[in-house]
Structures are given as structure tokens and as C-alpha cells.
Amino acid sequence: MTAQIEMRDIQKHYGSFHALKGISLTIDKGSFVALVGPSGCGKSTLLRSIAGLETITSGTLQIAGKTMTGVPPRHRDIAMVFQSYALYPHMTVEENLTYSLRLHGVGKADARQKAAEVAATTGLTSLLGRYPRQLSGGQRQRVAMGRAIIRNPKAFLFDEPLSNLDASLRVQMRKEIRALHDRLGATSVYVTHDQIEAMTMADWVVVMRDGLIEQQGRPLDLYDKPVNRFVAGFIGSPAMNFLPGHIAETGNAVMLADGAGTLPLDRGLQPGREVIVGVRPEHLDVVGDAATFHLEIGVVESTGSATYLTSPDGNFQLVQSERTSLASGDRIGLRIDPTKIHLFDPQSGIAL
Amino acid sequence: MTRTYTPWILLTVALALAAVYLFPLYWMYVTSLKTGSEMFANPPTFWPNNANFGIYPEVWARRAMPTYLWNSVLIAGGVTAITVVLGTGCAYVLARYRNHWIDVGLFFVLMLQVLPASVMITPLFVGFNQVGLLNYPRTAVVLAAAAKAMPFFVVLVRATFMSVPRELEEAALVDGNSRVGAFFFIVLPLARNGILVCAILTFMSAFGEYIYSKSIIQSPSLQPASVGLSGFLGPNSTDWSSIMAYSAIYVTPILVAFVILQRRIVSGLTSGALK
């Protein structure tokens, strides 16, 4: 795989605010990379830096082997889909689609031909003569996509493109974007704050926080082996539970704080060491006698396919795929597979 | 009960206020058609007994109104051209960049709006005299009046530019346009209505500009209609019907233009012309 976008130690300052603190990232040709993180983590700034809409303070950015320092957006050959779609309100759908072609000197007939092809793949054929204000949210989203794919750019940049759609449309568009990416063999960079979008769509997920890359890897690797407490809490829904505790005398079990119970481990650690235990809600089994720790139930929520049980203080959650007759106030015994326990250092948050 | 009557009460109040405001206009037209004695009749007549329409062509010719009106158009056109060209660029910059200096700039722009023309005219006159601009009095008035009209235009057009989403410009940049191209082909067409409306308002207010013209332009052949009107008001002048006829000729084109453009002006000022 050759690198399509190559970033080396990218820094970005806005006055005294340090938005990107040395980002190094390689995006392979044909891959679908998701940049994910809470708001203000720098993911959008990074994307806009790739597009050339922000100038980076230092570091190097290469697209298809060419250094992009000082290159304006129009010479970078990238396409971008904006959160608000940014359709030109004074142009019809067809004019919106062909705008970049016309700017690049493509003839009128060729541009129309290309617009018709793109409209066919995105389901816009009957809407070519309409103005953006006459379209629904989903249709606008498609026009924004069509405008990006019409000219075979070196990379597609998506800036939270689905956040203005309702939930069911979002799930549908998720699949369509991924299918489009595969069909075009494109290189895509996708910014989102929704880790489910990142997990389901991307080949490679980059988790960012405070202008730094916390971890990058394949989606399931991030789920299985988070390198620190932040990534562990960010990836996965509902979020991982964190419990304070310390390693038992034997070295191969964790004593939970407040005497909630003991969790056997599959590895040995220094006895007496303070740790944070991370357990995913879906990895907990409700058992009777074999329980290693106990929990009081505060809230029971059932969606039909799954039941969510939450502790009275709201800090601990578990998911059961079977129906249950448990009710608020019940005390239940829990067990977890030792291989699925994550341990973190209380101070640094780094996985142990 | 109050809910059903409130709109009617408000409507009555609005109509009453409109009547108070528009009565002088009506009185101007009516008086222009009255004879000398009827004008001061008590009780007054609300419709002239024998309307004298001949007064209009008579005043038009006697007072050299074509020259005056042409000067007014020239001055108003010059003011509008300068204000639109410079003000649009200024408004765009003030709308797009956000920092401390922009706030300072905006403060000074608004401050200019506060200064009344009657205060500004003396220093302007002295300054224009120094650089020899008084030899081109209409140009001098255009410059002075454009400076006066600028803050209002900049503040209103800035609001229009702010309603054009920044992302549209960025999309145009990514699509292959330059910064300048994005301004002319994306931002400007979207802000067009707002700019047009502000330009019309600027033209209309410059058309009635008086203080600068009166002070700077000495030669009657270069004076605009507003100054020409004050020529009637001598110590012995009582020719009210001529004054009213002159005023009617002067005001009617603006009124007609306003009525025709009224819908556009209102919609351009209230909506962002987007969506």
C-alpha cells in the first residue's frame, strides 16, 4: 500500500491555543480512515489542514507524494463534504454538481454528461433542475456527496457529514458512503464525534484528544486493546465501566474498592498496586453462586433485544441480551471472563 | 376578548400614526394646486377648488429644475457608486475576520455615524479648501456625502455578509476557486439583494443631501435640487404654491421608486436572502 496522505509532526496554533500538537499520520491509498474524538479535540482542524483551509504552523503534509505547504485548496485536488453540506443556494443541483468541473475548464456537454452519471449513482436524476432549498436533508446530503465524487479527487474529506440527518437516515447513509468508497476505490478521511460511525465505516480509526492522537488502529483492535483509559471509555457503546481497586496479595486478582468483590485476573501484577479496572457492559454475566462481585440495580431499561441495567449512582452499566425479571433495588451477582478485564494505571491512565 | 380586539386596536393606532406622518405629504400636493387666497382660507379646504396644474411646468421651467435634478442625480449616483464599491469590500472584511482590530474598526465606523453633518462641514470645508477640492464642488460633495453614507452601508451590508455561511466559500475553494473568485461568484451573488437594497437606500438619502451641497457648492448651475429649493425662501417670498410644486416634482420620483421597490427593500432587509 502506498501512502496517499502523509503527515509528519503537524502543529497548529490559533494565537495562544495549541490545536494540533504534533500529529503524524499515514493514510494509505484506498483506505477509509476515521478521525474520531470529543469536540475540540482537533479532528476537524486536522481535516481542514489537509484540505488547505487552515494553514499548519509547522510540520509537513504530503498528498500523493507532493508537499502541500503553501498550496491553496484548489491545487490540492481533494473533495470535501461539509457538515452543513454547503450547497450553493443560487445554483441548481446540476450546477452544484458541475461547479468544480466548470472551474477546471471542462466543456459544458461533458460536464452535463458527468452530472447525469453521478446523479444516476446517487439517485438524484429527477432532481437535477431543483434548487437546494427545494430538497430534503437526505437529498441535500446526496448532492454534497455527488459534488465530491464527480471529479475523481485524490482524497475525499468528510466533516461530520451525517450529523444533521435523523437516526434512520444516518444508518442508511453510513452504508451508502462506505459502498461508494469501495466502488470508487477512493481514499477517504472521515471526521466524526460518533464512535459508532467510526467503528462501522472505517478500516482505520484514529482517536484524538486535545490535539494529540491517543491511539490508531483497526476498529476492533481499538475495542479489544485500548492503550489507555480515554480510548477505552470512548470506543464502545454503552461506555466501559471503570472501578477503582487494588491488586490482591496473590497478585492475580483485583480487590474492588468498597468491598464490592474480587475479580480474578489472567495475569500477575505487583500485589497492593492501585489500579482502575475497566469492564465493558456487554462482557458481564449475571450469575448466582459463581459471582465474584455484586451490584445493586438502580434502573432497568429494556429495548426488547437487550436490557440495560444501571447502578443507583449511574456509574456502572451492564447489558443483558436475555430478558430478565430483575427490578430496581435487586442485588445481583456478576462474573466476567478474566481475559476481558482491562486494567489502567490510576494516575497516567495507561493500560497495564 | 382582548385577544380578538388587540389586532384592531393596534391597526387603528398604526393607521393614525401613518396619517400623522403622511399628512404633510398630502398637504404638499394639495397646496401646490391651490391659489394664494385659498391656501390661507380658514377653515382650510382639503381639496383645491380649482386646481391649477399649470404650476408644475411653470415651476419646472422657471426654476431651472432639470439642471438641479440632474445635479442631484449626479451627486447621488457618485455617492452610491463610491459607497457600494468601497463599502462592500469593507463590510466583507469586517464580516469575515474576527479579532480585536476588527472590533476597533467597527467601533470607529459606528462612531462616524454619530457625527452630524452640520458638525463635520466646517473642518471638511477647510480641508477641501486646502487641497483645492472646492474648485470641483460636486466632487467634493460626493466625497463628503459618501463618507457620511458609508458607516450605515457598511454596518448593514456586513450583516448581510455574515448571513452567508463561511462553509460555502470554503466549498468553493475546495472545488477549485481562488479566494477572489469565491468572493465574486459565491458570496457576492448571495449577498446581492442586501447590497442592492442598501445601495438604493444610500441613493435615496444622497438624493436629498442638503448640508454639504449648500455649504460647498456656490454656483447655482452645480447645485442639487435640495439646495435649489431653499432658493425660494427669501425674506419676501411667500410663493408657497411654487415651493410645494417644486417639492412635489422633487419628491415624486423617489416616492414612486420606493413604492415599486418596496417589497424588495423590506424582504432584503429582513431576510438574509438565503434558504
Asked whether residue A338 falls in the same domain as residue A221, the answer is no
Nearest to A90 among B167, B171, B190 (CB): B190
Asked whether residue A23 falls in the same domain as residue A38, the answer is yes
Contact B190 A89 (CB under 8 A): yes
Nearest-neighbour CA in chain A from B159: distance (Å) = 18
Instruction: Give the best residue of B100, B174, B178 to mutate against chain A (max A CB count within 10 A).
Output: B174
Contact B275 A89 (CB under 8 A): yes
Asked whether residue A212 falls in the same domain as residue A254, the answer is no
Report the alpha-carbon angle A283-A289-A291, nearest 5.
35
Q: Is A200 within a domain?
A: yes
- Final residue of a domain: which of A234, A249, A267? A234
Contact B189 A84 (CB under 8 A): no
Asked whether residue A91 falls in the same domain as residue A120, the answer is yes
Asked whether residue A12 falls in the same domain as residue A114, the answer is yes
Name the interface residues of B facing A (CB cutoff 8 Å).
Answer: 165, 167-168, 170-179, 181, 186, 189-190, 274-275
Q: Is B125 within a domain?
A: yes
Contact B174 A51 (CB under 8 A): yes
CATH of the domain at B108: 1.10.3720.10
- Final residue of a domain: which of A202, A234, A266? A234
The pLDDT, as a whole number, for residue A226 is 94
Could you tell me if A73 lies within 8 Å of chain B, comparing CB atoms? Answer: yes
If we measure between CA atoms, which residue out of A74, A182, A171 comes closest to residue A121?
Answer: A182
Nearest-neighbour CA in chain A from B169: distance (Å) = 8
Contact B190 A86 (CB under 8 A): no
Residues of A in contact with B177 (CB under 8 A): 74, 103
Residues of B in contact with A82 (CB under 8 A): 167, 170-171
Contact B174 A83 (CB under 8 A): no
Asked whether residue A153 falls in the same domain as residue A302, the answer is no
Tell me which residue has cell 452504508.
A175
Q: Is A271 within a domain?
A: yes
- Other Cβ atoms less than 10 A from the Cβ of B263: the count is 9
Nearest to A82 among B167, B178, B275 (CB): B167
Could you tell me if A103 lies within 8 Å of chain B, comparing CB atoms? Answer: yes
Q: Which residues of chain B have pLDDT under 70?
A: 1-3, 234-238, 267-275
Residues of A in contact with B170 (CB under 8 A): 48, 51, 53, 73, 80, 82, 86
Rounded-to-integer distance, Cα A349 and Cα B167, Å: 38
Q: Is A86 within a domain?
A: yes
Q: Is A319 within a domain?
A: yes
If we measure between CA atoms, which residue out of B250, B237, B248 comes closest to residue B48?
Answer: B248
What are A54's three cell numbers? 487552515
Q: Is A352 within a domain?
A: no
Report how many domains make up chain B. Answer: 1
Residues of A in contact with B275 (CB under 8 A): 89, 133
0.95 cut: is pTM over it?
Answer: no
Asked whether residue A109 falls in the same domain as residue A133, the answer is yes
Residues in chain B: 275
Report how many domains make up chain A. Answer: 2
pLDDT means per 10 residues, chain A with 352 residues, are 88 90 92 92 92 92 90 92 90 92 90 91 89 89 91 90 87 89 90 91 93 93 93 90 89 83 85 91 84 85 88 87 83 87 91 88
Q: Is the dihedral of CA A73, A77, A78, A84 positive or negative?
A: positive
Could you tell me if A91 lies within 8 Å of chain B, comparing CB atoms? Answer: no
Q: Is A351 within a domain?
A: no
- Give every CB contact of residue A306 below 8 A, 6+ residues apart in sequence: A319, A320, A321
Q: Is A308 within a domain?
A: yes
Q: Please give the backbone phi and psi of residue A34, each rounded to the nearest 5 degrees, phi first.
A: -105, 130
CA A20 to chain CA mean position, Å: 18
Residues of B in contact with A131 (CB under 8 A): none
The pLDDT, as a whole number, for residue B174 is 92
Whether A199 contacts A205, CB under 8 Å:
yes
What are B207's three cell numbers? 438624493
Nearest to B175 among A52, A99, A157 (CB): A99
Contact B171 A82 (CB under 8 A): yes
C-alpha separations of B99 from A13, B96, B116, B119 in Å: 15, 10, 29, 32
What are B88's three cell numbers? 462592500
Nearest-neighbour CA in chain B from A204: distance (Å) = 24
Cis peptide before A271 (omega within 30 of 0): no
The pLDDT, as a whole number, for residue B115 is 82
Residues of B in contact with A99 (CB under 8 A): 172, 175
The pLDDT, as a whole number, for residue B274 is 45
The pLDDT, as a whole number, for residue B275 is 42
Q: Is the dihedral of CA A102, A105, A108, A110 positive or negative?
A: negative
Nearest-neighbour CA in chain A from B102: distance (Å) = 16
The pLDDT, as a whole number, for residue B235 is 66
Q: Is B76 within a domain?
A: yes
Angle (deg, nearest 10), helices B188-207 and B65-96: 140
Q: Is A288 within a domain?
A: yes
**Is 0.90 exceeded by the ipTM?**
no
User: What is the residue range of B174's domain?
Assistant: 69-239+258-270
- Final residue of a domain: which of A189, A205, A234? A234
Asked whether residue A247 falls in the same domain as residue A152, the answer is no
User: What is the residue range of A295's domain?
Assistant: 241-344
Asked whether residue A155 falls in the same domain as residue A259, the answer is no
Cis peptide before B151 (omega within 30 of 0): no
Asked whether residue A302 falls in the same domain as residue A286, the answer is yes
If we measure between CA atoms, which residue out of A138, A95, A134, A135 comes closest to residue A118?
Answer: A95
Q: Is B116 within a domain?
A: yes
Could you tell me if A331 lies within 8 Å of chain B, comparing CB atoms? Answer: no
Q: Is B24 within a domain?
A: no
SS (H, E, C) chain A: CCEEEEEEEEEEEECCEEEEEEEEEEEECCCEEEEECCCCCCHHHHHHHHHCCCCCCEEEEEECCEECCCCCHHHCCEEEECCCCCCCCCCCHHHHHHHHHHHCCCCHHHHHHHHHHHHHHHCCHHHCCCCHHHCCHHHHHHHHHHHHHCCCCCEEEEECCCCCCCHHHHHHHHHHHHHHHHHHCCCEEEEECCHHHHHHHCCEEEEEECCEEEEEECHHHHHHCCCEHHHHHHCCCCCCEEEEEEECCCCCEEEEHHHCEEEECCCCCCCCCEEEEEECHHHEEEECCCCCEEEECCEEEECCCCEEEECCCCCCEEEECCCCCCCCCCEEEEEECHHHCEEECCCCCEEC
Q: Which residue of A has its CA nearest to B175?
A: A100
Asked whether residue A201 falls in the same domain as residue A264, the answer is no
The pLDDT, as a whole number, for residue A199 is 92
Q: Which residue of B has its CA nearest to A75?
A: B176
Residues of B in contact with A72 (CB under 8 A): 173, 178-179
- Give every CB contact of residue A208 below 8 A, 6+ residues apart in sequence: A35, A36, A37, A41, A42, A43, A46, A214
Could you tell me if A88 lies within 8 Å of chain B, comparing CB atoms? Answer: yes
The pLDDT, as a whole number, for residue B2 is 58
Q: Is B56 within a domain?
A: no
Residues of B in contact with A83 (CB under 8 A): 167
The pLDDT, as a whole number, for residue B187 is 92
Q: Is B22 within a domain?
A: no
Asked whether residue A306 falls in the same domain as residue A246, the answer is yes
If we measure between CA atoms, which residue out of B64, B72, B61, B55 comes closest to residue B243?
Answer: B55
Nearest-neighbour CA in chain A from B264: distance (Å) = 17
Residues 141-200 of A with CB under 8 A from B: 147, 157
Contact B171 A89 (CB under 8 A): no
Could you tell me if A74 lies within 8 Å of chain B, comparing CB atoms? Answer: yes
Contact B173 A79 (CB under 8 A): no
Whether A143 contacts A87, CB under 8 Å:
yes
The pLDDT, as a whole number, for residue B273 is 39
Instruction: Give the best residue of B175, B184, B193 to mutate against chain A (max A CB count within 10 A).
Output: B175
Rounded-to-integer distance, Cα A191 and Cα B218, Å: 67
CATH of the domain at A82: 3.40.50.300
- Other Cβ atoms less than 10 A from the Cβ of A287: the count is 12
Tell me which residue has cell 411667500.
B238
